[in-house]
Chain A
Amino acid sequence: MNYFVTFLLAIVSSFLVDNVVLSRFYGICSFVGVSNRVKSAASMGIAVTFVIVLAALVSWPIYVFILVPAELTFMDTIVYILVIASLVQVVGLVVKKFSPSLYKALGIYLPLITTNCAVLGVVQENTAKGASYAYAAADFGTAMANALGTSVGFLVVIVLMACIRTRLEAANTPKAFKGLPIALITAALMALAFMGFQGIGA
């Protein structure tokens, strides 16, 4: 029971307190670029969620069971990049084969997720705090909670941003602020708002 509560708290912490976009400033490019419409923001958010969770699921065992015993932890970045790139290709292949509707919506954007720094950032974080072979089970749970919370946080924040930007389009924004400037100001205000979650669980 305690482990389950800890798992849930870790997800909430990654989702709200250390939000990937608004607190750690990862994935800003896709956050600002794709948050124009709610539908496209949701599609991108779901795709990134899927890739982050799968990448964490594959990368953590590689680090703990191959790189750590072989004392090759310096190779983690290049290994993660190759793993993520391969994973995205495989995901694209599966989507192409089994889900034409999803491929139509997201197919050409999937390779862009490879370069989303939020994916590499989450995978690096999972192993940066010294994931060790001896405590593999507990650390794997924390790694997956971090991945799940981070990806859900990205999805929620990008959809929120899209909702706000949709309202802003109808608002009387000064000409100099239309488009990207007001989007960046909005993102800054959202980041300030999310700062209110700091200290939860302290």
Chain B
Amino acid sequence: MSKELAITLTIVIIVVLLAIFVTSFVLYRRTPAPKGCENLEPSEEVCGSCKKAGCPIRWGIEKSDEDGKEEKE
């Protein structure tokens, strides 16, 4: 296979996969949550002991803890 064809095929495959990912992401966001699950929050029971610093769910928990402390003050 020629170099140009390989590069073209690489780009096409990546673009197609990215398009599939973006489509699935948009569909997921647009699908309404089931009744009773509209305002789901992470539970302390599951996330309380987790030390993963890069987790966006953990950031949300820490932010809500800080907001709670500010309200008390």
Contacts and interface: CB of A to CB of B under 8 A. Distances in A.
| Interface size range on A against B | 20 to 34
Given A82-B21, A86-B17, A104-B37, A71 B31 contact: no
A93 B27 contact: yes
B34 A96 contact: yes
A interface majority secondary structure: helix
A179 B49 contact: yes
B40 A104 contact: yes
B36 A104 contact: yes
B41 to A, nearest CB: 8
Given A92-B28, A100-B37, A104-B36, A85 B45 contact: no
B57 A82 contact: no
A82 B6 CA distance: 19
Given A70-B1, A70-B6, A180 B31 contact: no
Contacts of B34: 96, 100, 103-104
B54 to A, nearest CB: 8
Contacts of B1: 70-71
B21 A75 contact: no
Interface stretch (A12-20, A105-113, A189-197): A105-113
A4 B6 CA distance: 39
Nearest to B9: A70
Contact of B31 (A36, A40, A97): A97
Interface string B29-58: 001011111001111011111111001010
A179 B49 CA distance: 8
Contacts of A79: 13-14, 17
B33 A36 contact: no
A33 B52 CA distance: 8
B18 A82 contact: yes
A72 interface: yes
Contacts of A34: 46, 50
Contacts of A66: 13
B37 A86 contact: no
Given A33-B49, A100-B35, A100-B36, A85 B13 contact: no
Given A29-B52, A37-B45, A90 B24 contact: yes
